Amino acid sequence: MKRSEHAALVALLQHRPEGLGWQEITAEVLSSGSALETWRHLVPDTLFDEAGEHEALAAADRQLESWVEAGVNFLSVLDADYPARLRGIHQAPPILFWRGQLLAKDPAVSVVGSRNASERGLGIASEISRALIKEGVTAVAGLAAGIDAAVHRTALEASGRTVAVIGTGINKYYPAANRDLQEEIAQRGLLLSQFWPDAPPQRHNFLMRNATMSGYGLATVVVEAGETSGTRVQARLAVEHGRAVILTDSVVQQNTWAQKLEGRPGVHCVSGLKDVTEIVRKVISERRDVADAMKQLLTTL
């Protein structure tokens, strides 16, 4: 993608013409297929003269240059290597910052749960992460304390791939106790952020992060969660995104939100690791069948 397109997208997100939110800006950009054309449409000459428009875009270009000089990787929702599954959800981040290895095809499953996890919950999370790696599936989590950290560490110990979707800028470490873990993931897996590189942790960031985790993966496994946990948001979003949701029986027993989800299409309640593995295998197989059918259809057109 041309540098001017990236600059236009950054300018749009920084200036928010007509008071549009980032989701609305993303939708406009995807609809037109060009951030630059979207900028010109939303910021007419009557509001910005040529010099003003040029300066806004030039400022955004300087921002891009500072990222390049600092070694910060980024890509926009219009770039070919933007994760395809993620682009398909309503909450697709307009820009992703990343460290590590981006894969064009990344069979991934999110494993989420409480920061204040029980020993049993941590053990279950580790077992699921290890099983995913054995199946050749990427283990995705949010680099938080508790369940997330257990998922990442187990995946790395099993020499598998793990993706951390974080709720801060790519240059930040949160929580501080996971700094070494974050660095190891960046070296051996993938670290993703949808926030400006130096953005601090904020409460609403983590709910946005949950939407991205759901969109990136094929399914979400909920290991342990409370009634007000952010994990419940990801479970609901995963249903909205058409992703499989796998709830442990203890989560269903202890949470009314989980009980309300139970029985909905794509939502599974499991009592053991074998059930999780079988559902993940089925989800991946179904996705492959759809991809093969689409490929065959395209070759006949």
pLDDT of residue 43: 86
Whether the per-residue pLDDT at 204 is higher than 80: the answer is yes
The mean pLDDT value for 111-138 works out to: 95
% the chain with pLDDT above 70: 91
Gap between the Cα atoms of 145 and 185, Å rounded = 15
Number of neighbours of residue 59 by Cβ within 10 angstroms: 14
pLDDT of residue 234: 95
Residue 222 pairs with which residues in a beta bridge? Answer: 112, 247
Cα separations in angstroms, 231 against 50, 72, 135, 148, 196: 47, 29, 24, 11, 23
Name the pLDDT band for 288 (thresholds 50, 70, 90): low
- Which residue type is seen at 208? M
Q: How many CA atoms lie within 13 A of 228 on its CB side?
A: 0
Name the pLDDT band for 51 (thresholds 50, 70, 90): very low
Number of neighbours of residue 301 by Cβ within 10 angstroms: 4
Whether the per-residue pLDDT at 30 is higher than 50: the answer is yes
pLDDT of residue 297: 42
pLDDT of residue 226: 86
For residues 194 and 96, the answer to whether their CB atoms sit within 8 Å is yes
Whether the per-residue pLDDT at 205 is higher than 80: the answer is yes
Gap between the Cα atoms of 301 and 298, Å rounded = 5
More confident residue, 247 or 52: 247
Cα separations in angstroms, 169 against 20, 264, 295: 22, 35, 37
pLDDT of residue 286: 86
Name the pLDDT band for 53 (thresholds 50, 70, 90): low
The mean pLDDT value for 165-169 works out to: 97
pLDDT of residue 228: 83
Gap between the Cα atoms of 291 and 174, Å rounded = 37
Burial of 74 (0-12, 13-18, 19+ CB in 10 A): middle
The mean pLDDT value for 281-300 works out to: 63
Name the pLDDT band for 292 (thresholds 50, 70, 90): very low
Phi, psi of 148 (to 5 degrees): -55, -50
Whether the per-residue pLDDT at 48 is higher than 60: the answer is no
